[in-house]
């Protein structure tokens, strides 16, 4: 549409970098543990986008296979993390990171 202007994989890498940066800042800034988990998901998605961009750039399907392993790890992390949040909430009645100052129950 704009003549010879094409989207190379560098565009996707820069986009993934920006997404990763947003996720990292959110993880550091927010205090709600659930929102912090969502920011971790954003960072994992940025990594997935990088994998897919490299799979396209190198013309190798292994990059797309690695995305599946990332997905599995993300699912396991969310399951265990949310269970931990529920267990904490039962004891403390609060779900912000500031409430978790001691390890004793």
Partner 1 sequence: MTVALFFIFGALTLGAALGVVLARNPVHSALFLVLTLVSVAVLFLLQDAQLVAAVQIIVYAGAIVVLFLFVIMLLGVDRPEQRTEPLRFQRPIALGLGAIVLAEILFLAGHRWATGAKTVHGVGLTGGHFGSNIERVARVLFTDFLWPFQITAVLLVIAVVGSVVLARRSGERPDPVPQDGGIP
Q: Which of residues 25-54 bind partner 1 (CB under 8 A)?
A: 25-26, 28-32, 34-35, 37-39, 41-42, 45, 48-49, 52-54
Give the C-alpha separation, 79 to 61, whole Å: 28
- Residues 62-81 touching partner 1, rule: CB under 8 A, are 62, 64-65, 67-69, 71-80
Binding string, residues 81-100; x marks residues near partner 1 by CB under 8 A: -xxxxxx-xx----xx-x--
Size of the site for partner 1 (CB under 8 A): 73
Over the Cα atoms of the chain, what is R_g? Answer: 18
Q: What are phi and psi of 87, to 5 degrees?
A: -65, -40
What one-character DSSP code corresponds to residue 99?
Answer: G
Shortest distance (Å) from residue 103 CB to partner 1? 15
Q: How many CB atoms lie within 10 A of CB 81?
A: 15
């Amino acid at each position: 549409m704009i003549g010879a202007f094409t989207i190379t994989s560098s565009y996707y890498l820069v986009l993934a970098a920006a997404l990763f940066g947003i996720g990292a800042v959110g993880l550091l800034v927010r205090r709600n543990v659930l929102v912090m988990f969502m920011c971790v998901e954003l960072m994992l998605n940025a990594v997935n986008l990088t994998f897919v961009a490299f799979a396209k750039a190198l013309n190798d399907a292994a990059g797309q296979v690695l995305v599946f392993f990332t997905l599995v790890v993300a699912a396991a992390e969310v399951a265990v993390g949310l269970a931990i949040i529920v267990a904490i909430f039962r004891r403390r009645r609060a779900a912000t990171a500031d409430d978790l100052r001691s390890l004793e129950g």
